[in-house]
């Protein structure tokens, strides 16, 4: 594999790479959000993030699979440790929003950037307290969540912007499958909603009974 620091030249600084790797040397200490922030990725453009993804995607399949994620740190320095199975699974779970067991380039970019775009509308503190409030399975109440994260006091346009961020596949709708991962769009690593929660969420907003939530329906739901 060789030492890939050269591969990241012009995108990431050697000093940042060294510091990010030093911070997660101990087994079990790897946290993708902290790593992305330390290595300077969180502040990069989408184009740069895609370049980094192309380097990490060793077999050029356009996906990073679990075995590639295990060796994630070695992309940055050949002597770095492999991730533990638990770290690898957490990393995969946080990024894999469509549940296919691997991370695509858009999932990778949104994993790094999602907080960026949402926090330009909502405060990180408000997001955190909204997530904390519904950690227990079946405790999610969308009205309370929208209130706590500050969404219900936003303008209709801002609510639409948030909808666009949440609509992972840009279909103009949030389907029940995407709703299951609703909380993870706010904080990677948050729990998935239970089937009952996802179903209640859809049925309370889905005025036309098509099994998904459109932008208008979402706006009505948040601002009513």
Report which of 194, 118, 24 is spatially closest to residue 32, judged by C-alpha positions: 24
b/e per residue 123-153 (b: at least 16 CB within 10 A): eeebbeebbebbeeeeebebeebbbbbbbbe
Residue 200's Cβ-count burial label (10 Å; 0-12, 13-18, 19+) is: middle
pLDDT per position as a tens digit, 152-189: 999 998 898 889 888 867 788 998 888 888 998 888 77
pLDDT value at residue 223? 93
Torsion, CA 83, CA 109, CA 178, CA 31, rounded to 10: 30
What values do phi and psi take at 62, rounded to 5?
A: 70, 10
Enumerate residues 6+ apart whose C-beta is below 8 A from 127. Answer: 115, 118, 119, 149, 186, 187
pLDDT value at residue 145? 97
Distances (CA, A) of 114 to 117, 198, 217: 5, 21, 22
Asked whether the predicted pLDDT for residue 116 surpasses 70, the reply is: no
pLDDT value at residue 113? 65
CA distance 63 to 161: 27
b/e per residue 95-111 (b: at least 16 CB within 10 A): bbbeeeebbbbbbbbbb
Report which of 192, 161, 152 is spatially closest to residue 176, judged by C-alpha positions: 192
pLDDT per position as a tens digit, 65-99: 999 999 999 999 999 999 999 999 989 988 887 88
pLDDT value at residue 40? 85
Report which of 132, 127, 138 is spatially closest to residue 199, judged by C-alpha positions: 138
């Amino acid at each position: 594999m060789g030492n890939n620091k050269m591969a990241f030249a012009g995108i990431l600084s050697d000093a940042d790479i060294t510091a990010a790797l030093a911070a997660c040397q101990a087994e079990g200490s790897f946290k993708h959000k902290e790593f992305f922030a330390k290595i300077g990725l969180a502040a990069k453009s989408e184009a740069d993030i895609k370049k980094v993804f192309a380097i990490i995607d060793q077999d050029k399949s356009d996906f990073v699979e679990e075995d590639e994620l295990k060796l994630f740190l070695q992309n940055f320095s050949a002597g770095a440790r492999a991730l533990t199975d638990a770290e690898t699974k957490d990393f995969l779970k946080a990024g894999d929003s469509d549940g296919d067991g691997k991370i695509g380039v858009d999932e990778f970019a949104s994993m790094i950037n999602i907080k960026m775009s949402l926090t330009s509308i909502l405060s990180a503190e408000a997001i955190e307290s909204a997530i904390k409030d519904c950690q227990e399975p079946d405790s999610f109440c969308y009205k309370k969540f929208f209130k706590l994260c500050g969404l219900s006091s936003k303008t209709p346009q801002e609510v639409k912007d948030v909808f666009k961020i949440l609509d992972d596949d840009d279909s103009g709708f949030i389907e029940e499958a995407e709703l299951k991962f609703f909380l993870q769009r706010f904080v990677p690593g948050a729990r998935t909603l239970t089937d009952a929660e996802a179903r209640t969420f859809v049925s309370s907003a889905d005025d036309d009974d098509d099994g998904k939530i459109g932008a208008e329906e979402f706006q009505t739901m948040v601002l009513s």
